[in-house]
Amino acid sequence: MSNENIKKQYNLKIKELDKHNKLYYNDSKPIISDSKYDKLKNEILDLEKKHKFLRNKKSPSKKVGYKSSKSFEKYLHKVPMLSLSNAFNEEDLKNFEKKIVNFLNKNLRFDYSVEPKIDGISASLTYKNKKLTYGVSRGDGKVGEIITENLKTIKDIPQIINYPNFPDEIEIRGEVFIKKNDFLKFQNDFANPRNAASGTLRQKDPNETKKIPLNFIAYTFGYVKNNPFKFQSDYLNELKNWGFKINKNNRLLPNIKELVKFHKKFEDTRFDLDYDVDGLVYKINDLELQNRLGFTSNAPRWAIAHKFSADSATTKILNIEIQVGRTGALTPVAKVEPVNIGGVVVSNVTLHNEDEIVRKDIRVEDVVKIERAGDVIPHVIAVDKSKRNKNLDRFIFPTKCPSCGSDTFKEYNEITKKYDAVRRCNNDGYGCERIAIEKMKHFISKEALNIEGFGKKVVEKFWNLKLIKKPQDIFNLNFKRIENQEGWGKLSVSNLKNSIENSKKVSLKRFIYSLGIRHIGIENSKLISENIKNISNLIIIIKKKKFEKFLNIDGIGETQIKSLKNFFSIQSNINIVEELNSILKIQSEEVNKNGIFRNKKFMFTGKLNGLSRAEAKSLIEKNSGVTLSNVGKNLDYLIAGDKPTKRKIDQARSLGIKIISQEELIKLLN
């Protein structure tokens, strides 16, 4: 047989094996017996043994398992697994601390628990009666996947804990990672150590997970029954006693000055470590304070990740493309000669905006130094002008939208008296192809409708097939047509149908966010949804254009109001909201309705003592109460602090509303 024929035969077998891998690992529907599968695999290995030229990356000898499985059982985290906000310098840290002090409204002294931020995959381990009962991945932070058996293959994870006073139920959280040295053996299978850890954890067969030496370092907890701990540092020590690994480089430090000093020192030596770290995590050590500070919608107020500065490399700009984003922003992206930065191959680099190109005078064919930090998109630090070819032309930024040809504009900021650095497409949204596609991607994204199996690529594909033009089209898809597309079949279409159906039940917060209104991110959507309660109220406000009402909400300002007005000045956006409302089941925000302040309305006047308004408000809301910003007859309590506004006190008196002090409020709570 000629080499060509041998290769053909080999490729056919590989294709066949791939098909069965997918059926087994991804779809859980094997159609051949294990022995037939093994036979096929051995035939491939035999061919490779006889004909060395066949060996390649696709070989089953090189591959570990198959692509990760999509079908793990889901698990609702008792306490969400959130992410961390980032700090890049001392300024950011000072701001972080300032916000804490403002929130607690007192100059308290507190220590920081300092922990290296390992760049791996977080996992949550639930122990009930000293036994590991659930091992779960982070997932989207709210719902994870049950990967207990895979986690059990990790030697650092104890399955039974024999220690007196170990809590009856505790969720121990930490990072799963692969050591740099161990990763060397699997370089052909995964792009970087982090991917190796995540791919390995998502194998259907725990024996596949076992093939790769994973490690686990514990650093926090989720739900704990009768939590006995007062300090994070105590908890970390106890973890060690229980038999978990904790990081040897953990520290307890008293202030920002010391944090910065330690960060500098640690950054220089981090390459000597046997695992990837991308920064340090600082947590307020006092758990009582952590509890008071609580969370914003995706990160705790009491912790921050102080990232290490980035790795850099030199490369050449091949071309500059203009991408149009969801809000019409024209973002220049440089296509560069691929370079490896810290284990990741970079071929796209953001140039941010028009002003940045002018400021740095970036031109096509320039040699540039680029930088990449953690999950931040790589960017240009400087152009090496000594290497510039004399006759390179300046880059001319387009004045028309490259997608729809509309005029573009730069916004004028009344407050700073400056034009925005970003140029935007003038189109009102769904009339510009790229904006429309990006809006749809936002609509299906995790924090919005979160339609499983309906990713960004699917949006592009369905758009090209003219199956979707507006978000509501998603709920009226031609499934017959989809079934006939390459890569789709009965099973995947039926899964898609289900996940679309499931996504119809959506909270008001996610719904507002899903509309993709500029300046209305998830946090502001939450504030608005808590304020207006239900979709009918929202529609009334939209129709009457009474957005000023939202100025009463702490956190919503003129910028957001202006953006809402702009968005809803377009009739098609109002139509979208109404049509979606008739399709979806938009639910008012789940709040604890049964707290002691159920149906009670509060308002503040004057300065509180040792507690900020924000914290007092969050205390009231935690107990099902509501805070208002105007005195009216429906108010139940006016909380009067130092130097209250006389007019408010008088109004409350005349309406017979109870006026209470801060101490009385705390008493009510107790």
Which active-site residues does the annotation give? Answer: 117
Could you tell me how far CA 288 lies from the centroid of its own chain? 26
Could you tell me how far CA 228 lies from the centroid of its own chain? 31
> Is 530 in contact with 589 (CB distance < 8 Å)?
yes
Separation between Cα atoms, residue 526 and residue 184, nearest integer Å: 45
In the numeric block, which tokens belong to residue 126?
Answer: 């639930």
Report which secondary-structure segment, H or E, holds 382.
Answer: strand 379-383
Q: DSSP string covering 122-149, please?
A: EEEEEEETTEEEEEEE-TTSSEEEB-HH
In the three-class reduction of DSSP (H, G, I as helix; E, B as strand; rest coil), residue 588 is classed as coil
Nearer to ligand IVH, 118 or 147 (CB): 118
∠ CA 246-247-248, nearest 5°, is 115
For 628-659, give one letter per residue: b (16+ CB within 10 A) or e. Answer: eeebeeebbbbbbbeebeeebbebbeeeebee
User: 């369905």: which residue's tokens?
Assistant: 462
For 382-407, give one letter per residue: b (16+ CB within 10 A) or e. Answer: ebeeeeeeeeeeebebeeebebbebe
> Is 485 in contact with 465 (CB distance < 8 Å)?
yes
Nearer to ligand IVH, 138 or 439 (CB): 138
∠ CA 232-236-237, nearest 5°, is 120
Nearer to ligand IVH, 154 or 586 (CB): 154
Q: Sheet with 303-307: list strands edge to edge.
A: 85-87, 303-307, 277-284, 112-118, 251-253
Separation between Cα atoms, residue 538 and residue 552, nearest integer Å: 15
Select the residue whose beta carbon is closest to ligand IVH and give its number: 122
Separation between Cα atoms, residue 122 and residue 527, nearest integer Å: 29
Question: Least CB distance from residue 167 to ligand IVH, whole Å?
Answer: 19
Nearer to ligand IVH, 209 or 247 (CB): 247
Backbone angles phi, psi at 372, to 5 degrees: -140, 130
C-alpha closest to that of 136 among 215, 196, 201, 82: 201
Nearer to ligand IVH, 167 or 300 (CB): 300
Separation between Cα atoms, residue 322 and residue 190, nearest integer Å: 31
Task: Say how many CA atoms lie within 13 Å of 176 toward its Cβ.
Answer: 31
End-to-end CA distance of the chain: 86
Residues whose CB is less than 8 angstroms from the CB of residue 52 and which lie 6 or more positions away in sequence, other chains included: none
In the numeric block, which tokens belong to residue 420?
Answer: 């925005």
Q: What is the DSSP letter of 52?
A: G
Nearer to ligand IVH, 293 or 541 (CB): 293
Question: Least CB distance from residue 18 to ligand IVH, whole Å?
Answer: 31
Nearer to ligand IVH, 82 or 341 (CB): 82
Q: What is the DSSP letter of 631?
A: -
Nearer to ligand IVH, 282 or 567 (CB): 282
Query: What string of H, E and C letters represents the secondary structure of 201-259?
Result: HCCCCHHHHHCCCCEEEEEEEEEECCCCCCEHHHHHHHHHHHCCCCCCCCEEECCHHHH
Nearer to ligand IVH, 54 or 118 (CB): 118
In the numeric block, which tokens belong to residue 134?
Answer: 């659930």
Nearer to ligand IVH, 30 or 374 (CB): 374
For 324-356, give one letter per residue: b (16+ CB within 10 A) or e. Answer: bbbbbbbbbbbebeebebeeeebeebbbbbbeb
Nearer to ligand IVH, 343 or 374 (CB): 374
Q: In whole angstroms, how large is the CA radius of gyration of the chain? A: 28
In the three-class reduction of DSSP (H, G, I as helix; E, B as strand; rest coil), residue 402 is classed as coil
Question: Least CB distance from residue 86 to ligand IVH, whole Å?
Answer: 8
Binding site for ligand IVH (CB under 6 A): 82-84, 115, 117-118, 122, 138, 175, 219-220, 281, 300, 303, 305
Nearer to ligand IVH, 119 or 615 (CB): 119
